[in-house]
């Protein structure tokens, strides 16, 4: 089976990395002290590691990211003064977070994987499937982030960069997996033989209903489910 995979949201959990960096940059503790992570010079902690995540257990005030939908981040103020207040992140703060994530190698190369992705890809290759990455990330730094991440994780797959409109490439694959509906559905493609799977996250659950009404379209919630689906069709 020829399989195309998006990088962000299917292989690498960029959304979670962004959430944690925003927490590092804007979270504070009960005594008002800021989070002292790698960005603040704490070189003893690897970004996104269990030790890194543990730093946030006692964050009780400030702007602690809960979830996001695309770039519209929803933040919850957990302080006693403004319990449950929703706060938005400014464009400048969003861009500052991206600089930390993509321009500092200790962050970019340690972006967490989607659970089971690396082992799942390894198993698919061993079973004889033709697997490749198709990403919208283009020239320069965006592409370098993907290349360096894959190298750091010993992942060596053919990769198509700069695929802003992946619907034009779907016909080349038996199965295509992405976390964005717009990359899987094009007007007039109801007869497309390619099976398209929407990889589910909290930020795209509202897209399921109309997506699965299309021919050859479905959704999966994790890599275990994806592997099970593929193996059932051998």
Name the pLDDT band for 88 (thresholds 50, 70, 90). Answer: low
Question: What would the pLDDT profile of 154-193 be if each residue is shown by its tens digit?
Answer: 999 999 999 999 999 999 999 999 999 989 987 766 657 7
Token pair for 107: 């962050």
The tens digit of pLDDT for each residue in 115-153 reads 999 999 999 999 999 999 999 998 889 999 999 999 999
Domain range summary for the chain, segments of one domain joined by +? 2-13+113-231, 14-108
CATH architecture of 2-13+113-231: 3-Layer(aba) Sandwich (3.40)
Tell me which of 63 and 225 has the higher pLDDT: 225
Pinpoint the alpha helices (H) of the chain: 14-26, 50-54, 91-103, 105-108, 117-126, 141-152, 208-212, 223-231
- Which pLDDT tens digit goes with each residue over 5-50? 999 999 999 988 988 888 788 777 767 777 888 888 888 899 999 9
Query: How confident is the model over 48-72, as pLDDT tens digits?
Result: 999 998 887 776 554 444 444 344 4
Contact 111, 21 (CB under 8 A): no
Between 208 and 117, the more confident residue is: 117
As a whole-number percent, the residues of the chain with pLDDT over 90 amount to 52
Residue 113 zone, left/alpha/beta (φ > 0; ψ -120 to 50; rest): beta
Q: Is the pLDDT of residue 86 over 50?
A: no
Highest mean pLDDT among 23-27, 40-44, 107-111, 207-211: 107-111
| 80 pLDDT above the threshold of 50 | no
* Mean pLDDT, rounded, for 77-86: 42
- Please give the C-alpha separations between residue 76 and each of 17, 127, 182, in angstroms, as whole numbers: 17, 44, 28
Q: 81 or 98: whose pLDDT is higher?
A: 98
Bigger pLDDT: 61 vs 233: 233
Mean pLDDT of 105-124: 97
Say what the pLDDT of residue 191 is: 57
Q: What is the pLDDT of residue 190?
A: 61
Long-range pairs for 46-53 at CB < 8 Å and ≥24 separation? 46/106, 46/110, 47/17, 47/20, 47/21, 47/106, 47/107, 47/110, 48/16, 48/17, 48/20, 48/107, 48/110, 48/111, 48/112, 49/110, 52/20, 53/20
Burial tier of 54 (Cβ tally within 10 Å: 0-12, 13-18, 19+): exposed
- Cα Dmax for the chain: 60
CB 116 within 8 A of CB 223: yes
């Amino acid at each position: 089976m020829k399989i195309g995979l998006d990088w962000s949201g299917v292989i690498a959990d960029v959304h979670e990395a962004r959430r944690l960096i925003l927490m590092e940059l804007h979270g504070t503790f009960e005594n008002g002290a800021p989070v002292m992570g790698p960005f603040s010079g704490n070189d003893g902690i690897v970004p996104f590691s269990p030790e890194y995540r543990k730093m946030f257990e006692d964050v009780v005030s400030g702007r602690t990211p809960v979830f996001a939908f695309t770039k519209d981040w929803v933040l919850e103020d957990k302080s006693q003064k403004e319990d449950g207040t929703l706060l938005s992140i400014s464009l400048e703060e969003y861009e500052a977070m991206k600089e930390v994530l993509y321009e500092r190698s200790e962050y970019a190369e340690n972006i967490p994987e989607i659970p089971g992705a690396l082992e799942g890809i390894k198993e698919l290759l061993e079973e004889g499937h033709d697997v490749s990455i198709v990403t919208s990330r283009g020239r320069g730094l965006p592409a370098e982030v993907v290349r360096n991440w894959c190298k750091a994780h010993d992942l060596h797959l053919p990769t198509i960069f700069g695929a802003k409109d992946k619907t034009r490439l779907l016909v080349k694959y038996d199965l295509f997996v992405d976390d964005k509906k717009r990359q899987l559905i094009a007007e007039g493609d109801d007869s497309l033989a390619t099976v398209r799977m929407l990889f589910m996250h909290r930020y795209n659950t509202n897209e399921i209903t109309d997506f699965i009404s299309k021919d050859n379209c479905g959704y999966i919630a994790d890599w275990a489910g994806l592997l099970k689906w593929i193996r059932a069709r051998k």
